[in-house]
Structure 1
Amino acid sequence: MSEITPTATTVYKILTPDEWDKVCGEGETRGSPLDRADGFIHFSTPAQLSDTLSKHFTGAGPLVLAEIPLSQLSEQDVRWEAARQGDLFPHLYGILRRDSISQHWPLHADDRGVYVLPETMSQT
């Protein structure tokens, strides 16, 4: 699934309900504790979401999926960097503002523990 040139126009941030409440209350976030430790906010493209959820969020309980059009972020702050199996993942070196998020959805795992993605999310 390695992307040579990123073509996504929309990226996603997976948050806990507490992290989402903080974004809404404060109007911005520097990310999760992992994001802050790594020095950037981890995003996923639509094609990467399922793998990200299964690798990093299995058993996490309810989550919130935030959709962010890349056009809402500064190009200088978004870097595409190699991660799993050489795939390029979008990373935000800056603050994610609430007004950059176009949509959000609650995420719940099914009876097998697999998170069900919303049918209405962008695929680009």
Structure 2
Amino acid sequence: MLIYKIFRASEWAALQSAGETAGAPVDLADGFVHFSTAAQARETAAKHFAGEDGLMLLAVEADPLGDALKWEVSRGGALFPHLYRPLRMADVLWSRPLPLVDGTHAFPDDMA
């Protein structure tokens, strides 16, 4: 199953440059890298990235992350995927721009 991470341009550039990252400031504060499922990603964008342009959407396959990926209760009692190790470029299956269109983030049509 694919899980998704939204990064600002500077965070995406840092991952590309270093090859791995402990995540965005919220990830550093919480001690894990926050991900969303396909069903959760739009709400995550609206809640945490409202009005922000220049974002990147990263897709990661959950299974190879093994025991470092924990499914934990978060927003609204739903289980969210949390990665308890650095996110590596090798983990990223694809990345795509997440443009802001008429105030809403435009997600890829083929997002599983």
1:37 matched to 2:29? yes
1:54 matched to 2:46? yes
Aligned residue-pair number: 112
Residue identity in the other structure for 2:89: R
The question of whether the paired residues in 1 share the 8 Å contact of 2:71 and 2:79 is answered with yes
Q: In the TM superposition, what are the counterparts of 1:76-115 in structure 2 within 5 Å? A: 76-111=67-102, 113-115=103-105
Q: Following TM superposition, by how much is the alpha carbon of 1:84 offset from its aligned partner in structure 2, in angstroms?
A: 1.2
The question of whether the paired residues in 1 share the 8 Å contact of 2:51 and 2:104 is answered with no
1:119 matched to 2:101? no
Alpha-carbon distance in 2 for matches of 1:95, 1:107: 22
Moved over 2 A (4+): none
Alpha-carbon distance in 2 for matches of 1:61, 1:101: 21
2:59 matched residue in structure 1: 67
Percent of counterpart pairs with the same letter? 42
TM-score by length of 1: 0.87
Structure 1, unpaired ranges of 5+: 1-8
Alpha-carbon distance in 1 for matches of 2:55, 2:29: 21
- Aligned partner of residue 102 in structure 1, secondary structure: strand
Alpha-carbon distance in 2 for matches of 1:42, 1:104: 16
Q: Following TM superposition, by how much is the alpha carbon of 1:61 offset from its aligned partner in structure 2, in angstroms?
A: 1.6
TM-score by length of 2: 0.96
Greater fraction strand: 2
